Structure 1
Amino acid sequence: MRALVEERGLGDRILIDSAGTGAWHAGHPPDGRATAEAAGRGILMDGRARQFTQDDFARFDLVLAMDAQNAADLRALAPDDAARDRVRLLRGYDPAAGPGDTQVPDPYYGGPDGFAEVFDMVDAACRGLLDHLLAGPLARA
């Protein structure tokens, strides 16, 4: 998403961050297979993993989850109904994803092909999300 936002010159208008619902990878760099897949697509993945906190609900207008379990975990952490309503599934923004096709699988325990498949899914969803933002909230800003 960060690469798409920068490509469109919107880096000063859209704040993007990434965090997990668990702390088991906190402080670690991205998985080497993900980094390699991203590099092959001209995308730099850097940074360190961190755990999502309740304070993040105050920082972000939209909180995106990769799957239903993570979305449920985020909603359980939300301080109120308004924050819970800002949790969405990322693939919900993929125009090609059907109603039962909203989960992004975790490629961690698979091979490199799984990372390519997930990058394709995430890319399509991020493009749909950016189109949504440009047609709605960013169009009004």
Structure 2
Amino acid sequence: MPEPVRVLFVCMGNICRSPTAHAIFLKRIEEAGLEDRIVVDSCGTGGWHIGDPPDPRATEAGARRGYDLSPLRARLLRPGDLDAFDYVLVMDQDNLVRSSDLNPGGRTRPELFLAYAPDSPVDEVPDPYYGDGFERVLDLIESACDGLLDHIREHRL
């Protein structure tokens, strides 16, 4: 059996957007029966929350839609991640720059996650940390997860 496709979601602190994407995409691949073909992880470009669980507001919003963020813990993006993962998907331009600068020669070039949501009216997943946009973030991430899974099925599996 070929090596699994490895997907990494990246945001700033790894407590709101990237763990939400992690949990949603994990559920999508489980529903598709592809747990042995796709590996998912998430991380942040800033180290303020290393080892912490996702923000309770993200956990609660996700749970209302059937996603379990509770087992996830924040970790920092490492230079080797750009070689270890096939997809490094970032939530916004700032984290795109931070991720790209970390290992400019890495095998995988980070890209904006919402590129996989072709009908999205925005290019970036907004950071809900200082506001109440968790439902909007879920909508955007669900759409991009669906597009990403379709892309991986078509091009990698």
TM-score by length of 1: 0.89
Q: Percent identity?
A: 45
Match of 1:16, SS state, is strand
Q: Which has the larger radius of gyration?
A: 1
Secondary structure, in 3 states, of the residue corresponding to 2:48? coil
Structure 1 residue corresponding to 2:89, chosen from 56, 59, 64: 64
The CA deviation at 1:58 is: 2.4
- Aligned equivalents of 1:51 and 1:82: distance in 2? 19
Runs of 4+ more than 4 Å apart: none
> Which segments of 5 or more consecutive residues in structure 1 lack a partner in the other structure?
none
Q: Which deviations, in whole Å up to 9, do the C-alpha atoms of 1:57-102 show, x marking residues without a partner?
A: 222111000001101110001241643xx2111000002025xx21
Q: Structure 2: state its 5+ residue gaps.
A: 1-24
For the pair 1:89 / 2:112, whether they are aligned, the reply is yes
User: How high is the TM-score relative to the length of structure 2?
Assistant: 0.80
CA distance in 2, matches of 1:82, 1:47: 26
Higher RCO structure (Cα 8 Å, ≥6 apart): 2
Alignment of 1:55-134 (within 5 A): 55-80=80-105, 82-83=107-108, 86-98=109-121, 101-111=122-132, 114-134=133-153
Distance apart, 1:7 and its partner CA: 0.7
Aligned counterpart, 2:64: 40
How many residues get paired?
132
